[in-house]
Structure 1
Amino acid sequence: MTTTRQAAPAATSDGAPPARQAQPAEERHATELAFLAAYDDGPRPPGWALTPRAVVTFICGSGGEALELPKGRRSGAGVTTPGDGQAPPSRLVVEAKFVGERALVERCVVTLAGERGLLLVGEPGTAKSMLSELLAAAVCGTSALTVQGTAGTTEDAFRYGWNYALLLAQGPSSQALVASPVLTAMRSGRVARVEEITRCLPEVQDALVSILSDRRVSVPELAGTPDAQVAAAPGFTVIATANLRDRGVSEMSAALKRRFNFETVNPIADPEAEAALVRGQATAVVGRAGAAFRVDDAVLDALVTVFRDLRSGRSAEGWDVERPGTVMSTAEAVQVAASLGVAAAYLPSGDVLDLVPGHLLGVVRKDDPADHSRLLGYWDGPVRRRAEEGSAMWRRLWDLRENLR
């Protein structure tokens, strides 16, 4: 059987770039960033694109209030929106992009303003990476200077490597040196991001110790040249993320921990806020799949309730629930809601609620086979009791218990 390799999507007929599944935060929210740069002309730390106050507003939103540019800055004060070159609007409601404590965001911004390393920790699926991306985009205009931590990540990812063709042809030189995202951030005074830092081996992690303390990287191969040492420009710092479930995988050294301020990103506390976030993000996923989101709010509310109950080990009514070993995160709830939306759009066959037990089973089976029985126990507990209290939604879910076999 032969297959035909399709060419990469070219630019559209009008010259616009091809559509992408996801855009970085600085492109997705370019209008808001340009507006806030013109709106708040207060003091900014060296190298920052926005004031610290504007960074907090960008992430937490303006609370539904339409912000208005002062008359003297209605033209955007020379600020334009990347991509279209247009001046920002004179009036704009800034949307909230992170559902969580404003005080947490403010502490993160203060840490970065002091050029201190920031480490975001928490359970998987609590939007640590998204918060890291938003912070980097607002502070320095790019979230692209990122290292993805894995067991195979080497020290080169934090320091530098070499273009070996040039290295063999002309020996060590500035042209042959390949800067890491961290080194590039140091040179330009920007924010470097390290995702899943505890997935990196300890000896690789420790490459950051001298970078965060001395704020420079030595290149001994270029000794005697101006590039033998790279000093961090004002504004450089590092945002790292780590999952609490990864403790013990590659524990950070005490020396490295001391160079970070730790901030814990907790699951969303407000059930209504979580339901709204799941609904909004699932709608966006289904929209990118070329369809409209047609899942009833009641189904989504029930789905979010199940996730919250299993995550906390206690139902909304106060009944005890045996927690599964897997993480019942908001991110997982979004994926299930999106799957329901895609199924409703492209495979409409009966009630979409019938699909909920199967998708939940797919979530809880990821880590521990015993989680299957825990999900059945949840059905025999809160789901059954809610059904007995007369809820038609939960009665239908109780009737679907056989789908968990």
Structure 2
Amino acid sequence: MRQKLSNIYRLGVKELWSLWRDPTMLVLILFTFTFAVYSSATSMPDTLHMAPIAIVDEDQSPLSQRIVSAFYPPQFTPPAMISAPQIDPAMDAGTYTFVLQIPSGFQRDVLAGRPAEIQLNTDATRMTQAFSGSGYIQQIVLGEANAFVQRYRARTSLPVDIELRARFNPTLDKSWFGSLSQIINQISLLSIVLTGAALLRERERGTIEHLLVMPVTPFEIMMSKVWSMGLVVLLASLLSVHLIVRAVLGVPIAGSLTLFFVGAGLVMFATTSMGIFMATLARNMPQFGMLAVLVLLPLQMLSGGTTPRENMPEFVQTVMLAAPTTHFVVLGQAVLFRGAGLPVVWPQLLAIFVIGAAFFALALARFRKAISSMA
């Protein structure tokens, strides 16, 4: 047993030195856990952020001025006041995403109880902002108009009022979710890519034949790649959490990082085994890259990190229970967002361990078969 552990340790150190001499992989690791995490947290493509808006105020009334003053950052830029003939040229040039036109006599019609209309011009080529922004603007205009009318007509409000309490993210800041979810996704991505690339490097450089004549077993070779590449991903993700998520983005961590990285270690046990299995199927790095796309995209998009699993068909939800990333996303969100402890997430830890053991056994059987064919 001592000799086996020594072989696994020395072969793992060899893998670390081999990775250190591969600048492409080092750049990939650096990019994945720094810029990719930061850009995912700050880009927020599904959020209305500093949308350019212009307003044509033909009414020049207290109500129209109240509506104009209701648009402010961070959802909208300060409104630009333009005239009606400037609407079409500005929209054609893409200067504004929204142009709100308040007609003359708008306040008079509202106070008189007559139908009053406001025209909203939207640049639908900016689809995400156009969809969410139209709803925002409608709520703002109706809210300001109702408040204005209630003041003049002394209407009483309903005796029921809803007080919103947003738990776990009081300010509804999308960067909190984006950065942590990206780290969860990148742990799975890099653990698969690094282990698969490590095995393919052995084959392309001919060093796999050297290993075959050494007194080491396929189990020891595979375990050395699992622990060494898993350690690299674990350290990179730990630094990313502290340097990018906490220091740069200022995102608070609700739960125990120790518990989260225990789960990360278990999921990397499964995903590194998947990487080795995929490497035994591919003959070179281009083939491995195409195979990785077919595996990584479903793992990231259907595990619940990007889209809630409740929105997916029942069949997809059932099938994805066999993926370790599905349980890791549940665990990561519970620990990092809601501060859950071991009594809450132990089912996910157990599921990840069982799935990882199954993937490891499958990958080891395939690896032994590939090694025997080379011999």
Shorter-chain TM-score tier = under 0.3
Larger Rg computed on CA atoms: 2
Larger fraction in strand: 1
Between the two structures, name the one with larger relative contact order (CA 8 Å, sep ≥ 6). Answer: 2
TM-score, normalised by the number of residues in structure 2: 0.19
Larger fraction in helix: 2
